[in-house]
Amino acid sequence: MQKRYFGTDGIRGHVGTHPITPEFVLKLGWAVGTAFRRQGSCRVMIGKDTRISGYMFESALEAGLSAAGAHVQLLGPMPTPAIAYLTRTFKADAGIVISASHNPYFDNGIKFFSATGSKLPDELELEIERLVDEPMQVVESAQLGKVFRVEDASGRYIEFCKSSVPTSTSFKGLKLVLDCAHGATYKVAPSVFRELGAEVIVIGDKPDGLNINDQVGSTDLRALTQQVLDSGADLGIALDGDGDRVLMVDHQGVEVDGDELLYIMAMDLHRRELLRGGVVGTQMSNLGLELALRDKGIEFVRAKVGDRYVMAGLREHDWILGGEASGHIVCLNHTSTGDGIIAALQVLKALQHNGQTLAQARSGMLKCPQTLINVAYARGADSPLADPALQHAVAAAESRLGDSGRVLLRLSGTEPLIRVMVEGQDAAQVESEANILANQVRVLFAAEAG
């Protein structure tokens, strides 16, 4: 069955526009509580990022869950992977994150974790959607869910992150800049790296409800790059608004994306004979990553874009490492979901193991020229991806690129965008082909609007 509300990463959209409204989220909380209570008692943990609408949706979820008889534990502002971890360790039945990840403050979303800290199965998401359309029935007063606040959540998660590297680990002598995107990691992330001995300069750590991901974080590396160069730091680390993505900048101010970070981690594990199997990437992963891993005898497979598909690929192959160029990296030997802080720690430890700078470690992977153009479209508009004229244009571009290039057009699972990606050996040709296809998409939307 086709899902109406759930995308690749929960339910997301513009605040005040259905379904991201207080009324819907109240009903959603009730539906989630009802679905889980049918399996027995229900205890749910709720965390959020720092955007201003989080207070409103936290209250709506809390009321809906209580009305269904589910007990609620509030975590406050916490990274998405922290909610996954705490859901497991507190033996809760589910975890809920109020966040739109890397999106601007005027968007928000609701995403869920099961008792194991993993994304909900499709069948349960469909059941929740079915319940949302049913009349809301409040349980008897004596059965209403109770609400508690967890006071030591941050400390628990900080220790968990530190446990992902050996207890003997010390980053003393390492100077780094940390960009918290004015988001959910603004308290915990600096503590993790400082407690492991690094000298940490922090930016993006003053959230005001409106500045999350605004010219900071993994979606905009300019502030981080400038701070790394100005301070003479060894490297910079950029997290996104909810802390499940990480990108880096080397000491020269050069961006190091998720594909390159995956390469560094995979090579370190491979050298130490700890890489179980291969690496899972996505359709958007740079061809250079695949070629560099293949050169070392490391298998590489591509999943559909989205962390749930990376996770499915890892489970299918029983592997431990996968991720996306955007910086969403999964280290299944340490945690159950993508975690920006833990991924960053593994990269730092890899550099330490091999006595390399970030620039040296990334040099073994040569990225193929790749151009990505995002074409916006109105929410609810029909996608033009199946249009014969566009398919013909894609086929023509693939023919011109030959065997050394790739074309990918896809709908974003988190934003109203069509992503046009072209990859090949010649940078000028790649950019030209991407612009041709992006313009074709714009023409089709304009024709539809007309």
Amino acid (one-letter) located at 165: V
User: Which of 72, 122, 63 has its CA nearest to residue 92?
Assistant: 72
Q: Can you say whether the dihedral through the CA atoms of 85, 104, 251, 245 is positive or negative?
A: positive
Separation between Cα atoms, residue 269 and residue 296, nearest integer Å: 12
Q: Which of 99, 101, 114, 285 is catalytic?
A: 101
C-alpha dihedral, 160 to 48 to 214 to 341, nearest 10°: 10
Separation between Cα atoms, residue 115 and residue 85, nearest integer Å: 10
Residue 285 annotated to the active site: no
Catalytic residues: 101
